Amino acid sequence: MKGGSCEIDGGISSQFISALLIACPLCGKPSKIKVKNLKSSPYVDMTLDILQRSGIEVLIKNSTYVVPPSQTFNLSTYTVPSDFSSASYILAASSILPSRVRLVGMFPSLQADEKIVDVLREMGADVHWDREKGIVDVKGGNKLKGAVVDVSQCPDLTPTVAALGVHAEGVTVVENASHVRLKETDRI
């Protein structure tokens, strides 16, 4: 890659945008990435955060990311946050079954999938998140109720919300999920 300009549809996947943002600082020419219809913007925000921590400059103006050329990544230490996407399965299972689960190391971050805690609360689960200590407690066995969940910014929660909906009384609606068909697999 040499650098240059491109326009990309962010309604398919934010992964393409993150990949370009990571690669373009190493190009010999400036890069401009014009993004239309960005879904899952928190994933791009996470990419921008780690780039900034790595000393990489990215300018943002009117849905265009401008990446200066010939930059050097400089990140000596970084603590990877716990993965709320993966944790969502454990939290959901615990809310359905008569059980109690405590997950540690679940500190707030830029992950959109932290929304699972709010979804569980809305559905009637007994869930508590101590953000300062990074502890999520779920006590299962409560009757869950259906909810309307917008997954436009957290598509990885779609399978978890669907599983919760099967065990909930009433209707569960998963909204704004069309882009979930275009992930690694057709998750719908």
Per-residue pLDDT of the chain (188 residues; tens, 9 = 90+): 899 999 999 888 888 999 999 999 999 999 999 999 988 889 999 999 999 999 999 999 999 999 999 999 999 998 888 999 999 999 999 999 999 999 999 999 999 999 999 999 999 999 999 999 999 999 998 899 999 999 988 988 999 999 999 999 999 999 998 877 776 666 77
Residue 90 in contact with residue 113, Cβ under 8 Å?
A: no
Asked if residue 73 belongs to a domain, the reply is no
Phi-psi region of 63 (alpha: psi -120 to 50; beta: other; left: phi over 0): left
Residue 30 in contact with residue 6, Cβ under 8 Å?
A: no
Please check whether residues 18 and 61 belong to one and the same domain.
yes
- What's the pLDDT at 175? 94
Please check whether residues 98 and 169 belong to one and the same domain.
yes
Q: Which two tokens stand for residue 169?
A: 């009384």
Q: Which two tokens stand for residue 152?
A: 């436009």
Full domain range(s) for residue 132? 84-182
- What's the pLDDT at 107? 94
Using alpha carbons, list the distances in angstroms from residue 131 to 37, 90, 93, 101. 32, 18, 21, 16
168: β partners: 144
- What's the pLDDT at 86? 95
Asked if residue 105 belongs to a domain, the reply is yes
Asked if residue 188 belongs to a domain, the reply is no
Active site residues: 156
Domain finish residue from 16, 41, 67: 67
Q: Which two tokens stand for residue 104?
A: 């540690």
In CATH, what number is assigned to the domain containing residue 17?
3.30.110
Asked if residue 45 belongs to a domain, the reply is yes
C-alpha–C-alpha distance, residues 85 and 116, integer Å: 8
Question: How many domains is the chain built from?
Answer: 2
Angle at 46 between CA 88 and CA 17, to 5 degrees: 110
